[in-house]
Chain A
Amino acid sequence: MNILVCVKRVPAPGARINITEDGQAVDTAFLGFTVSPHEECAVEQAVQLVEKHGGEVTVLTLGPAEAQEQLRTAVSTGVAKAVLVPIDGADWDAQRTAQAITAVVESLEAAGGKFDLLLFGNESADSGGYQVGIRVALKLGRPMVNGAKGLDIADGMAKVRRDSEAGVEIYMLPMPAAVGVKEGINLPRYPTMKGRLASKKVEVQHSAVACAAGGLKLIHLRRPPEVVRNTKILGTGPDAAAAVVDLLEEIGVFK
Chain B
Amino acid sequence: MSVLAVVGHDRGRIESASLGLLTAARKLAAQLHTTMEALTIGANADGLRDILAAHGASVVHQAHHAALVDFGPEAWGEVVAQLVRKCAPQVVMGSGTERGHEVIAQAAARLDLPAAMNCTEFDAKFDGSQALRLVRARWGGSLLEESELDAPVKLVTLANHMVVPVEAPASASVTIIEVELDAAVRHSFVRERVDRVAGVTLATSPVVVGGGRGVGSAEGFASLEELAKLLNGIVGCSRAVTNNGWRNHTDQVGQTGTRIAPDIYFACGISGAIQHWVGAMASKNILAINIDKEAYIVSKAAYAVIGDLHQVVPAISAEIRRRRAQ
Contact = CB atoms under 8 A, between A and B. Distances in A.
Interface residues of B, number: 100
A42 B5 CA distance: 32
Interface stretch (B38-46, B48-56, B114-122, B213-221): B114-122
A191 interface: no
A125 B308 contact: no
A242 B191 CA distance: 53
Interface in A5-49: 13-17, 19, 26, 36-38
Contacts of B252: 183-184
Contacts of B147: 216-219
The secondary structure that dominates the B interface is: mixed
A167 B193 contact: yes
Given A215-B150, A216-B147, A37 B239 contact: yes
The majority secondary structure among interface residues of chain A is: mixed
Contacts of B264: 248, 251, 253
Contacts of B191: 170-172
Which 6 pairs between the two chains have the least Cβ-Cβ distance? A184-B249, A215-B114, A238-B315, A131-B105, A130-B101, A241-B315
5 contacts: A15-B277, A130-B102, A166-B193, A184-B252, A251-B264
Interface of B: 10-11, 13, 15, 70-71, 73-74, 97-99, 101-102, 105-106, 108-110, 113-118, 133, 137-151, 157, 184, 187-196, 206-207, 231, 239, 242-243, 245, 248-250, 252, 255-257, 263-264, 271-274, 277, 281, 284-285, 287-288, 293, 296, 298-308, 311-312, 314-316, 318-320, 323
Interface of A: 13-17, 19, 26, 36-38, 93-95, 98, 122-123, 125-131, 134-135, 138-139, 141, 143-147, 164-174, 182-184, 187-188, 214-224, 227, 229, 231-242, 244-245, 247-248, 251-254
